[in-house]
């Protein structure tokens, strides 16, 4: 498969050291890559760097072969990268419909059609479209945050820990929607710690440990135990 998103030797520094060290991988259209690791492994730092929220110390980020490393976050959004950060970061005073309308692009009818696509992806949001964001449940807020990130139909979708604080029954709906995003043609990079559910929807698993990729392998060839071992001791790598 042709890479939609490609990282080449990506290094990200933090004040206290290297957060991501020489990371290279690719994600194709229609593919879900599960990026896993313990707290502090570098998952969020990598996602933020790809989104353009954090600077890159060295290496390249390419979208459909074009180097976007020098672009700012808002420029990367316009080129086709959608980012759902950890913590949702919704505007609590806006309704569901207002949140989606602000995030959508084009004329009013185009924004309305885009919102309808999001309501099809997350039917509960259609029922709550008039509700103010802060009154939504945690799961509904997460669905709204994802919908806001993908309403402009990005080529690449970056999801940072979407499972945090969600009940298991809600997780099923959220992860099923993530799989549908890939099936619609997006390249999806999912940073997560929930191993079994991530493996169930992902095509490839990448494990980070102390900022270094220690495992990169198709999910059909591994199980949760292999991933957990790699998260703890670095594993044996993979292709």
Q: How confident is the model at residue 236 (pLDDT cuts 50, 70, 90)?
A: very low
Q: Where do the domains of the chain lie?
A: 1-75+155-161+187-239, 81-153
Residue 57 clears pLDDT 60, i.e. is over it: yes
The answer to whether 18 and 30 have CB atoms below 8 angstroms apart is no
Per-residue pLDDT of 136-190, as tens digits, reads 888 899 899 999 999 999 999 999 998 887 888 888 888 999 999 999 999 999 9
Give the whole-angstrom CA distance, residue 180 versus residue 5: 18
Cβ proximity of 11 and 34 under 8 Å: no
Looking at residues 6-24, what average pLDDT do you find?
A: 94
Q: Look up the pTM and report it.
A: 0.91
CA 24 to chain centre: 17
d(CA 16, CA 38) in angstroms, rounded, equals 18
In this structure, which topology does domain 1-75+155-161+187-239 adopt according to CATH? Rossmann fold (3.40.50)
């Amino acid at each position: 498969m042709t890479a939609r998103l490609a990282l080449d030797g990506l290094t990200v520094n933090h004040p206290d050291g290297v957060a991501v060290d020489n990371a290279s991988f690719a994600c194709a259209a229609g593919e879900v890559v599960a990026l896993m690791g313990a707290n502090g492994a570098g998952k969020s730092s990598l996602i933020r760097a790809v989104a353009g929220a954090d600077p890159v110390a060295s290496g390249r980020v390419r979208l459909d072969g074009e180097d976007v490393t020098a672009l700012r976050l808002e420029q990367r959004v316009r080129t086709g990268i959608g980012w759902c950060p950890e913590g949702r970061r919704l505007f609590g005073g806006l309704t569901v419909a207002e949140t989606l309308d602000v995030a959508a692009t084009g004329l009013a009818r185009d924004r309305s059609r885009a919102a309808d696509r999001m309501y099809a992806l997350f039917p509960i949001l259609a029922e709550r479209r008039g509700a103010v964001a802060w009154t939504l449940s945690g799961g509904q807020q997460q669905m709204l945050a994802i919908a806001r990130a993908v309403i402009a139909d990005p080529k690449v979708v970056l999801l940072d820990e979407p499972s945090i604080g969600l009940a298991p029954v809600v997780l099923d709906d959220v992860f099923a929607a993530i799989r549908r995003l890939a099936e619609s043609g997006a390249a999806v990079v999912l940073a997560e710690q929930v191993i079994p559910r991530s493996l169930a929807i992902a095509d490839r698993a990448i494990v980070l440990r102390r900022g270094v990729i220690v495992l990169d392998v198709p999910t059909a060839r591994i199980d949760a135990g292999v991933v957990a071992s790699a998260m703890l001791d670095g594993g044996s790598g993979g292709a």
